[in-house]
Amino acid sequence: MPSFEPLLWYARRGPGRGLRRSAFRKFCRRHWGESRIVLTRDGVRLETILGDSVDNAICVYGEFEPVTSVLFRMLAPQVSTLIDVGCNIGYFSTLFASCNPQAKVIAIDANPRMVERARFNVELNPGMRVEFLAEGLAAEPGRLLLKVPLARHSLASFAYAAGADKAAAIESLEVPVTTLHRVLSTPDIGQGIFVKIDTEGFEHAVLSGLDPGDIQRIDALLIEANFNNLSRAGVTLEKLIGFAWLDQFCWFEVDDAAGRLLATDRASVAARSSINTNLLFLREGYTIDSLNGQLI
C-alpha cells in the first residue's frame, strides 16, 4: 500500500465537506474489493474489504456511525454484557470489548460469512474475548431462509426476497434460528445487559423472541429502525415500537447523520413518515448526559 494516498488524505482531512465526500467515494470505488487491515479510533485492528458501507467508513475514518460509537464507549463500562445481534464484521463487538475487557460479549449473525470475518477480526486483537453464535434470531426457534446479496454479504436478511433492490443477485441459505430468550438464558449472563439489534428489517421478530422475565435484565437496547427494511419484512414502524414494555425505558434517537443523540418518545417516533436511524431505549441511572442534544 502506498505511504501516501492523496484521495485517502483528502477524504479524511481535506477542506470542504462536499469535496471530502467526493474523495471518499472515489477512493472506495478505486479500491473496490481490496482488503486492508486498519487501526480504528479505539485502537482495534480490523480487516476491511472496500465496497461495503461499513468497511468503507472504518477503512477511511477509523470508525462507523460516530454517535453510536460514542454511545458504545460510554455504556461499555456501565454494563456487564453485550448481545450484538447482527454483528457484521465485528466492529461494535470489538469496540465494546476494548472499552470493557471484563464484560461478556456475544456476537451473533445468521450469515456465516459475517461470523467468519468477525471472528478473524477478534483474532487480530490478542487477548480480546468475544463469543460467537452463528445463528439467526427470530420469534421461535427453527430454520429460515436467509437472503444473501452476492455483492454485499453484510446486507443479508430474512426480510426481503430475490430481486430486491439492494442487490442484483441474491443467494438463499437455510440457516438455524433461535430466540433472544434462549441467548439470555446462558448461565453466566446476569443483569445489566446491553442488546444491540441490526437485522435489516427483522428487528421486530428478534424482539418477539423475548420472554417477560427477560425485560428486567436488559438495561440498554439499541435497534435499527429503517423504513425500507421494515417494509420488506411487512412490519410497520408502529409495530416495531409497539411493545408495551418499552415504556419502562427512556427513549432516544441516535442521529449519526446529524451527529447528535436526542431524547424522544413513542408518539414522536410513530409520527415519522419515514425513518432511517437507531433507537436507544435506556433505563434511568445511566450516564449519557454529555451526548444528549450535543453535536460531536
Q: What is the CATH number of the domain that holds 214?
A: 3.40.50.150
Give the domain extent around 41.
1-63
**Is there a single domain that holds both residue 89 and residue 236?**
yes
Q: Determine the Cα–Cα distance for residues 65 and 177; give it in Å rounded to an integer.
A: 27
**Is there a single domain that holds both residue 230 and residue 278?**
yes
Q: How many CB atoms lie within 10 A of CB 227?
A: 16
Q: Is residue 291 part of a domain?
A: no
* Predicted pLDDT of residue 289: 67
Q: Could you give the 3-state DSSP secondary structure of residue 260?
A: strand
Q: Is residue 218 part of a domain?
A: yes
Q: Determine the Cα–Cα distance for residues 253 and 57; give it in Å rounded to an integer.
A: 21
Q: Determine the Cα–Cα distance for residues 16 and 207; give it in Å rounded to an integer.
A: 42
For the chain, the C-alpha Rg in angstroms (whole number) is 19
Q: Is residue 111 part of a domain?
A: yes
Q: Among 80, 107, 124, which residue's Cα sits nearest to residue 217? A: 80
* Predicted pLDDT of residue 16: 94
**Is there a single domain that holds both residue 113 and residue 138?**
yes
Domain boundary among 63, 94, 109: 63
Q: How far is CA 43 from CA 7, 125, 179, 256, 291, in A?
A: 23, 9, 33, 21, 22
| Domain count for the chain | 2
Q: Determine the Cα–Cα distance for residues 196 and 128; give it in Å rounded to an integer.
A: 19
Q: Among 280, 92, 115, 87, which residue's Cα sits nearest to residue 200? A: 87
**Is there a single domain that holds both residue 7 and residue 97?**
no
**Is there a single domain that holds both residue 32 and residue 73?**
no
* Predicted pLDDT of residue 266: 96
Q: Determine the Cα–Cα distance for residues 245 and 212; give it in Å rounded to an integer.
A: 9
* Predicted pLDDT of residue 97: 98
**Is there a single domain that holds both residue 110 and residue 29?**
no
**Is there a single domain that holds both residue 55 and residue 84?**
no
Residues in the chain: 296
- Give the model confidence (pLDDT) of 118-157 as tens digits: 999 999 999 999 999 999 999 999 999 999 888 787 888 9
**Is there a single domain that holds both residue 7 and residue 144?**
no
Q: How far is CA 8 from CA 13, 29, 45, 193, in A?
A: 9, 12, 18, 38
pTM of the model: 0.93
* Predicted pLDDT of residue 27: 97
Low-confidence ranges of the chain (pLDDT < 50): 1, 162-164, 167, 294-296
**Is there a single domain that holds both residue 12 and residue 153?**
no
Q: Is residue 278 part of a domain?
A: yes
**Is there a single domain that holds both residue 19 and residue 152?**
no
**Is there a single domain that holds both residue 100 and residue 43?**
no
* Predicted pLDDT of residue 90: 98
**Is there a single domain that holds both residue 180 and residue 240?**
yes
Q: Among 96, 97, 168, 95, which residue's Cα sits nearest to residue 128? A: 97
